[in-house]
Amino acid sequence: MFKNVLVPFLSILIIVAIVLYLVPPDIITRYLGENSGILGFSIAAVVGSITLIPGFISYPIAAGLIDQGASYAVVATFMTTLMMVGIITLPLEIKYLGQRAAIMRNALNFVAAIIIGLAVGMVMGLIR
């Protein structure tokens, strides 16, 4: 059990570390902070889906994005796709759920994340 979990987790962490090096937080902040329209929204959804950033790094990024003027819809989309959709972790997910279910879960969660992003942006716009 321990070996079955630890070894695949470590291999994923190495990939996560390399991707995080190739797409560093300050680049994410720059691109998403400046583009709050449809372009920013799309970048947020795609980058968030591919990468996996540990929570205690992603929340400071999100707060920085808001400070830079990014919309709540962009930030919410980025955060939800980060948490719910994982292209990097897909090989690991397939080992547990099988190919079909893993791809279905990610596809459905991607759609859900877009809805969540738009809804949160709308409601935050109404109350702020």
Task: Give me 113's structure tokens.
Answer: 């994340």
Using CA atoms, how far apart are residues 60 and 106, in angstroms rounded to an integer? Answer: 25
What is the C-alpha to C-alpha distance for residues 109 and 41, in angstroms, rounded to an integer? 16
With contacts defined by CB under 8 A, name the span among 33-41, 42-50, 110-118 that binds other proteins.
Answer: 110-118
Residue 47 neighbours by CB under 8 Å, 6+ apart: 23, 28, 32, 78, 81
Q: Which two tokens stand for residue 34?
A: 């400046």
Interface mask toward other proteins for 88-107; x: CB under 8 A? -x--xxxxxxxxxx--xx--
Tokens of 8: 């695949």
Q: Work out whether 4 is an interface residue with other proteins (CB under 8 A).
A: yes
Residues 33-72 that bind other proteins (CB under 8 A): 52, 54-57, 59-60, 62-63, 66, 72
Q: Does 23 bind other proteins (CB under 8 A)?
A: no
CA distance 102 to 90: 7
Residue closer to other proteins, measured from CB, 24 or 37: 24
List residues near other proteins by CB under 8 A: 1-2, 4-14, 16-18, 20-21, 52, 54-57, 59-60, 62-63, 66, 72, 75-76, 79-80, 83-84, 86, 89, 92-101, 104-105, 108-109, 112, 115-116, 119-120, 123-124, 127
